[in-house]
Amino acid sequence: MLLRLHQIDKFYPTGEGPLHVLRGIDLSLEAGKSLALTGESGSGKSTLLHLVAGLDSPDAGEIHLGGTNIVGLNDTALAALRRGTVGLVFQQFNLIPSLDVAANLAFQARLAGRPDPAWLKVLAKRLGLAQVLTRYPEQLSSGQQQRVAIGRTLAARPRLVLADEPTGNLDEATGDAVLDLMLSLVAETGAALLMVTHSNRLANRLNARVHLHAGRLV
Amino acid sequence: MVWIGLTALLSYWRRRPVQLAMLLLGLSLATALWSAVQAINGEARASYDRAAAILGQDRLAQLVREDGARMDQQEFVRLRRAGWLASPVIEGEMRFGDVRLRVLGIDPLTLPPQAQQVDIAAGDELLPFITAPGVLYAAPETAARLTEQATPPVRVAEGLPPGTVVTDIGQAQVLLGAKHKISRLLLWPDQPIGRAPLKVTAPGLTLREPSETGDLARLTDSFHLNLTAFGFLAFAVGLFIVHSAIGLAFEQRRQVFRTLRALGLPARVLVLLLIAELLTFALLAGLVGVALGYVVASALLPDVAATLRGLYGADVPGTLSIRPEVWAAGLAIAVIGTLVAAAQSLWRLWHLPLLAAAQPRAWARTSERALGAQGVAAMVLLLTAAGIAHFGSGLEAGFALLAALLLGAALALPLVLTGILHLGGRLARGPLAEWFWADTRQQLPGLSLALMALLLALAANVGVSTMVSSFRLTFTGWLDQRLASELYVTARTEAEATAIRDWLAQRSDAVLPIWSIEGRVAGQPAAIYGVADHATYRDNWPILSAVPEVWDRIATGDGALINEQLARRQELGLGDQITLPGGWRASIVGVYADYGNPIGQVIIGIDTLVQHYPDVSRLRYAIRIAPGKAESLAAGLRAEFGLPAQNVIDQAGIKVFSLKVFERTFNVTAALNVLTLGVAGLAMFASVMTLSGMRLPQLAPVWAIGLTRRHLAWLELSRGLLLAALTMLAALPVGIALAFVLLAVVNVEAFGWRLPMHLFPGDLARLAALALLAVGLAAAVPAWRLAHLSPSDLLKVFAHER
C-alpha cells in the first residue's frame, strides 16, 4: 500500500472555538491507482490533501506514505518528502512567475536531484508546450499554465500525485483535455493519483472515489 | 455617498497599521530633517540680521576709509565743523578673559535716533555711560558669559546681537588701544542744506550706502546653502518612502476603487476623497515632523553655532526660538511632498478604466520601456553633470552638478542592477540559484525606489566622509606646519610686551612677533601680518605657490604673501599687485594654505609692517625653544609676569583646541549624514515589510515543492543583502565623485580653499558593513516572520476551500 491514513483528526482554531474539520479519517491508496475525493465546499477535501502532502500536520492519527509515518517528521524531512515522493497540482497553477516555462517544467525534478532532459522533452511535446518553452507564465493561457503545472509535477516522477481541483479554473473542454493528459501521463509514470474534485463526471473517470461530508468519509 | 466612500477607503489603513505607520514615519522624518535645517538657518539668519541692523547700519549711510583702516578722530571734528550731522563709531575685537567680543564704541550725544538700540541718551543712564569706568551693554546671553570676567559694569540690553558689547566711544578707544581713532561715521538721514561737499571736507573717506544684509549674511550664505542641500537630500530620501507607501496602497486598493466606481461614486469625488485622505496624513505627519525637527535642531544648534563662530566669526545664540515661518514651511513642504509623491498614483487613478482588473503587483512591475526611459533620463542627467563640471562655475553650478550627478546615478541604479542580476542568472548553476537570481530580478521594481534612496544616502555618506577625512588629514598636516613654535604668549600691555621680550631674549632660541593690523585688501576684509626672517617660516610655512627666493623678498620688503582664499576670491596670482591699508602697494610673491580662516590674510616682512603701521599692537609672540624646556619656560613666564593661563599657550594646547573646533565643525554634517542614512534604512525597511506581505503567493509554491520555511527565509535575507551590497558598490564611485565635487568645486566656492582628496578604505569598509547591517536588520524581520509562519498561513495561498 503506497498511502494509508489512519484515524486522522484535524481542528482549526476560530473565534468561536476549534473547528473540527476532519474526523477519524481512514483511507488507503495502492501504487498505480487513482482515487477521487469529492465533497461539498468546506467538507475538508483540500485539508486532507495538504496533510497527505506534508504541508500541514494532523492533530491526531497516522499518515503512512511508502511505509513511513510522516506525522511528526520535522520540516526538513517533510520538505524532502515533497521534493522526492509527492507531486502537487493546484487549482491556481502556482507556477513560479520569475522563471520561464522550460525552467518551471524542470524545477522540481532538478530540485529533487532527478533531472531527465529526455523525459522533459517528451513531457513538453505531449503537453503541447514545446513552442512556448521560453515564455513566462503570465504570457500563457490558463490551460497552458495548468499543463505546465502538471508537467512540473510529473517531471520529477513522483510516486504519488496530489491534484487539488486541477481543472477548476478551466472551461469544460479545456479541463477535459488537461485531465485526459494528466491521467494518461500519471499512468505512464506508474504513480498513484489522489484528486480532489467537485465534479462527479470527472470523479467517475478515476479508479475509485470517496466522498467527504462534514469531515467524515461517507 | 461621500461618507460611505471615505469609510471604505479608510478601512484599508485600519487593517494595515504597519503600512500606515511607515507612511507617516517617512513623511515625518523627511519633514523633520528639512525643518531642523530651516530652524537652524532661520535662527542664524535672524542673528545676522540683528548684527546687520546694529546701530542702524541697514538704514543709515556711513563714511569709511576705502582701505578699511581706522581714521583719525579729527575727521569727525572736520565734518561737524563743515555742517555734517555725523556720529563717530569705533569697532574692534578684544578678549575679556576667555571671552572674545566685538566692542562697539558710540557717542550717545550725536547718535542718530535710527541707531539708538540702547536707550542711554536720557535719564540716569547717560552719566555712568560716558564717565569712567563706563558701562558695557550686552545681550542677555553675552552678559551671562561676562559674569566671571573682569569688565566694566555690564547691563543687559535686549535686541543686541550675541557676542557684541556697546559702550561709550572714549571707553572703547581705551579698551581697544586706539586712542583718538574711529572706525566709521554714521550719517544722519537729514543733513543741513549748504554744508561743504564731502570731497572737500573728507577727501580720504568713502560713502557707504545702507545695506540690509551684512557681511556675515553674505559670508555664511554658502554654509547655509550646504545645510539646505543636505536637508533637501534627506527630504528627498524620505519622499521615496512616501511614494513607495502611497503607490502600494493605491494598487492594493485598486479593487476597492473599481467597486466604488462601479457602485456609482464619480471619479472626481474618488480622487478628491483620496486627496483629502493624503492631506490629512500630510498635516498630521507634518506637525510631528516639525516638532521632531525642533528637537533635532536643538541638538545640532550648539555645534552649528560653534562652527559659525569658528569659521566665520559669526555669533549665533545656542538656543532656538519657535518661529511661525518654520512651522508654516514645514507643513507646506509635507503637503507639497505628499502630493508630489502621490501625483503619479492619482493620475493613474483618474485614468483608470472602470473595468480594469485588479493587479496587486502592477505597481511593482516596471515595463522595459519605462526602464529604458529611466535609463535615457539618467544618461541625460549624467551628461549634464559632466557638462556642468567642464563648463560651469560658481557655487550654484557646483550644487547643480551635485544634483544632476546624484539624481542621474539614482535613476541609473535599477538599470545597472537589472544587468548584474541578468548576468548572475546566466552564471547560476542549479535550480535554486537560477530561481534566486530570477526572483530577485522580479523583485527589483518593487524595491528600486528604496534602493535608490539607499544609494543617495550611501553616496552622500561616502562623499561627505571622504571630504571630512581628507580635510582632517590635510588640516592636521597644515597645523603642524603653521604651529611650528613651541609657545605662544600674549602680553596685556605694550610695556609688559617689551619686558617679556627682554626677559625671553636670554631664555629662548627665538622670539617671533605675531603683529597684525586689520583693514581691507582688494575690497575684502583682511588681516595684515608681519613676520620675522626666521627658519620657522622658511622651513614650515604651507606655501602653495611662490616665486623663487620668496622669503628673501619678504624679508627685504619686496613683496607680500597672501592666503589661498584671498587669491581665489579676488582671482589674484603671483606677480599681481595689491593695495594695502594706507594706500601702499605690494607685489604678490606667494600664496599659502590658510584653512579655517574666513577672511583674507596678507603676510609682509615685520620691518615693512612696522614702517607702514607704526601703531601696530605688539602684544603677541611665538617662542622657539627646545620642546623639553617649553613647559618650564611657560611656568617661568606666568610666574615672572603674573600672566593668566590663557596668555601663555603651548603648541599642543593650540592644536588640541584647533582640532576640537574642527571636529565640532563637522559634527553637524556627520549628524545629518547619519540621519539621512537612517531614513534610507527606514525606506528599505518599509519597502521590504510591505513587499513581504505580497511575497507569499510567490514563495508558497516553492515551499510546497520542497523547500523548508527556514531555507526560504535565508534566501529572502540573502536577497536583501545582495541588493544592498550591489547598491553599496554602485554608491562607491558616485560617492567618490561627490567627494571630488565637494572638495574641488563646492569648498573652493564656499570657503575659498581647495583640498587634496584622500581615500580611506577602512572608513568605506565600515560604511559598507553598516549599510549591510541596516539592510540585514530591515530584511531580517520579514525573514524571521517567514521562518516562523505557520503552514496554515502558507496554505491560504492555495486554499480555495477548506
- Residue B361, pLDDT score: 40
Q: How far apart are CA B186 and CA B111, in angstroms?
A: 8
User: Are the beta carbons of A79 and A26 closer than 8 angstroms?
Assistant: no
- Residue B34, pLDDT score: 82
pLDDT, tens digit (0-9, with 9 covering 90-100), for B510-526: 999 999 888 888 888 88
Task: Output the nine-digit C-alpha cell for A32.
Answer: 498505480
Mean pLDDT, residues A41-51 taken together: 89
Give whole-number Cα distances, A77 to A55, B335, B552, in Å.
Answer: 11, 54, 88
B-proximal residues of A, 150-179, CB under 8 Å:
152, 164-165, 168
Are the Cβ atoms of B431 and A107 closer than 8 angstroms? yes
- Residues B231-259, buried b or exposed e (16+ Cβ, 10 A)? bbbbbbbbbbbbbbbbbbbbbbbbebbbe
The neighbour count for residue B150, using CB atoms within 10 Å, is 7
Give the closest-approach CA distance of A190 to chain B in angstroms. Answer: 20
State which residue of chain A sits closest to B712, comparing Cα positions: A79
Are the Cβ atoms of A42 and B708 closer than 8 angstroms? no
Give the closest-approach CA distance of B357 to chain A in angstroms. Answer: 14
- State which of B144-148, B189-193, B618-622, B661-665 shows the largest mean pLDDT: B618-622
- Residue B5, pLDDT score: 76
Would you give the DSSP letter of residue B744?
I
Q: Provide the pairing of β-strand B99-106 with B164-168.
A: parallel
Q: Provide the pairing of β-strand B154-156 with B86-96.
A: unpaired
Handedness of CA B464, B466, B469, B470 (dihedral sign): negative
Q: Provide the pairing of β-strand B205-208 with B600-605.
A: unpaired
Residues of B whose CB is below 8 A from A164: 798
- Residue B313, pLDDT score: 62
- Residue B567, pLDDT score: 92
Mean pLDDT, residues B33-59 taken together: 76
Alpha helices in B707-760 (DSSP H): 709-741, 747-750
**Residue A22 forms beta bridges with which residues?**
A10
- Residue B215, pLDDT score: 58
Give the closest-approach CA distance of B236 to chain A in angstroms. Answer: 31
Give the closest-approach CA distance of A32 to chain B in angstroms. Answer: 21
Query: Which helix (H) or strand (E) covers residue B586, if one does?
Result: strand B585-592
- Residue B1, pLDDT score: 65
Q: Is B517 helix (H, G, I), strand (E, B) or coil?
A: strand
Q: Provide the pairing of β-strand A34-39 with A192-196.
A: parallel
Domains of chain A and any CATH numbers: 32-56+73-217 (3.40.50.300)
Task: Find cell 544587468 and name the residue.
Answer: B419
Q: Which of A41, A42, A82 is opposite residue B706, by nearest beta carbon?
A: A82
- State which of A182-196, B36-50, B416-430 shows the largest mean pLDDT: B416-430
Mean pLDDT, residues B269-284 taken together: 90
- Residues B307-319, buried b or exposed e (16+ Cβ, 10 A)? bbbbbbbbbbbee
Residue spans of the domains in chain B: they are 1-52+221-358, 59-210, 365-480+662-802, 481-657
Q: Which of A82, A112, A168 is opposite residue B704, by nearest beta carbon?
A: A82
Per-residue pLDDT band at B330 (split at 50, 70, 90): confident
Q: Is A145 an 8 Å CB contact of chain B?
A: no
**Residue B91 forms beta bridges with which residues?**
B104
Selected for mutation to probe chain B from A98, A134, A196 (highest B CB count within 10 Å) is A98
B297 phi and psi angles, rounded to 5 deg = -60, -40
Q: Which of A44, A55, A168 is opposite residue B802, by nearest beta carbon?
A: A44
Provide CB contacts within 8 A for B69, sequence distance 6+. Answer: B517, B518, B519, B520, B581, B582
pLDDT, tens digit (0-9, with 9 covering 90-100), for B533-563: 999 889 888 899 999 999 999 999 889 999 9
Query: Which helix (H) or strand (E) covers residue B69, if one does?
Result: none
Residues of A whose CB is below 8 A from B435: 96, 98-99, 103, 107
User: Are the beta carbons of B656 and B540 closer than 8 angstroms?
Assistant: no
Give whole-number Cα distances, B15 to B9, B249, B617, in Å.
Answer: 11, 12, 75
Q: Is B186 helix (H, G, I), strand (E, B) or coil?
A: strand
Per-residue pLDDT band at B157 (split at 50, 70, 90): confident
E strand map for B350-405: none
* Of the candidates B445, B250, B263, the residue with the CA atom closest to the CA atom of residue B346: B250
Residue B362 has pLDDT above 50, yes or no: no
Are the Cβ atoms of A88 and B704 closer than 8 angstroms? yes
- Residue B589, pLDDT score: 95
- Residue B216, pLDDT score: 60
Q: How far is CA B777 from the centre of its chain?
A: 30
Give the closest-approach CA distance of A87 to chain B in angstroms. Answer: 8
User: Are the beta carbons of B730 and B458 closer than 8 angstroms?
Assistant: no
- Residue B221, pLDDT score: 67
Task: Output the nine-digit C-alpha cell for B636.
Answer: 617661568
Residues of A whose CB is below 8 A from B357: none
Average pLDDT of the residues of chain B: 83
Residue B716 has pLDDT above 60, yes or no: yes
Q: Which of A47, A50, A80 is opposite residue B706, by nearest beta carbon?
A: A80
User: Are the beta carbons of A93 and A146 closer than 8 angstroms?
Assistant: yes
Residues of B whose CB is below 8 A from A150: none
Handedness of CA B637, B643, B645, B651 (dihedral sign): negative
- State which of A23-32, A92-101, B91-100 shows the largest mean pLDDT: A23-32
Residues of B whose CB is below 8 A from A42: 801-802
Q: How far apart are CA B171 and CA B186, in angstroms?
A: 18
- Minimum mean pLDDT among A17-31, B51-65, B426-440, B784-798: which range? B51-65
Are the Cβ atoms of B706 and A106 closer than 8 angstroms? no
Give the closest-approach CA distance of A1 to chain B in angstroms. Answer: 23
Selected for mutation to probe chain A from B426, B790, B798 (highest A CB count within 10 Å) is B798
Q: Is B180 buried (19+), middle (13-18) or exposed (0-12) by CB count in 10 A?
A: exposed
Are the Cβ atoms of B706 and A84 closer than 8 angstroms? yes
Q: Which of A55, A99, A112 is opposite residue B438, by nearest beta carbon?
A: A99
Residue B801 has pLDDT above 70, yes or no: no
- Residue B222, pLDDT score: 61
Residues of A whose CB is below 8 A from B441: 98
Q: Which of B439, B707, B795 is opposite residue A98, by nearest beta carbon?
A: B439
CA max distance for chain B:
107
Mean pLDDT, residues B224-241 taken together: 74
Mean pLDDT, residues B653-658 taken together: 76
- Residue B665, pLDDT score: 66
Taking CA B681 as the corner, what is the angle to CA B677 and CA B685, rounded to the nearest 5 degrees? 170
B545 phi and psi angles, rounded to 5 deg = -155, 145
Residue B214 has pLDDT above 60, yes or no: no
Provide CB contacts within 8 A for A189, sequence distance 6+. Answer: A154, A157, A158
Task: Find cell 517531471 and name the residue.
Answer: A155
Q: How far apart are CA B249 and CA B17, in angstroms?
A: 12
Can you give chain A as a three-state secondary structure string? Answer: CCEEEEEEEEEECCCCCCEEEEEEEEEEECCCCEEEEEECCCCCHHHHHHHHCCCCCCCEEEEEECCEECCCCCHHHHHHHHHHCEEEECCCCCCCCCCCHHHHHHHHHHHCCCCCHHHHHHHHHHCCCHHHCCCCHHHCCHHHHHHHHHHHHHHCCCCEEEEECCCCCCCHHHHHHHHHHHHHHHHHHCCEEEEECCCHHHHCCCCEEEEEECCEEC
- Residues B671-694, buried b or exposed e (16+ Cβ, 10 A)? bbbebbbbbbbbbbbbbbbbbbeb
Task: Output the nine-digit C-alpha cell for B719.
Answer: 536577497
Q: How far apart are CA B802 and CA A209, in angstroms?
A: 19
Q: How far apart are CA B32 and CA A118, in angstroms?
A: 63
Q: How far apart are CA A127 and CA A1, in angstroms?
A: 30
> Before B210, cis peptide (omega within 30)?
no
Residues of B whose CB is below 8 A from A79: 703, 706-708, 711
Mean pLDDT, residues A74-81 taken together: 90
Mean pLDDT, residues B349-374 taken together: 60
Give whole-number Cα distances, A196 to A43, A89, A210, B118, in Å.
Answer: 11, 10, 10, 94
pLDDT, tens digit (0-9, with 9 covering 90-100), for A170-211: 788 888 888 888 888 888 888 999 999 988 888 998 999 999
- Residue B731, pLDDT score: 93
State which residue of chain B sits closest to A92, comparing Cα positions: B798
Q: Which of A45, A47, A111 is opposite residue B705, by nearest beta carbon?
A: A111
Higher-pLDDT residue of B329 and B670 is B329
Are the Cβ atoms of B802 and A112 closer than 8 angstroms? no
Residue B168 has pLDDT above 80, yes or no: yes
User: Are the beta carbons of B269 and B5 closer than 8 angstroms?
Assistant: yes
Give the closest-approach CA distance of A28 to chain B in angstroms. Answer: 21
- Residue B363, pLDDT score: 43
Provide CB contacts within 8 A for B654, sequence distance 6+. Answer: B483, B488
Give the closest-approach CA distance of A162 to chain B in angstroms. Answer: 12
- Residue B360, pLDDT score: 40
Are the Cβ atoms of B435 and A107 closer than 8 angstroms? yes
Q: Is A97 an 8 Å CB contact of chain B?
A: yes
Q: Can you state the percent helix, strand and coil of chain B, rounding each to 5? A: 65, 15, 25
State which residue of chain A sits closest to B702, comparing Cα positions: A96
Q: Which of B442, B706, B791 is opposite residue A56, by nearest beta carbon?
A: B791
Residue B771 has pLDDT above 80, yes or no: yes
Residue A58 has pLDDT above 90, yes or no: yes
Give the closest-approach CA distance of B672 to chain A in angstroms. Answer: 39
Give the closest-approach CA distance of A79 to chain B in angstroms. Answer: 4
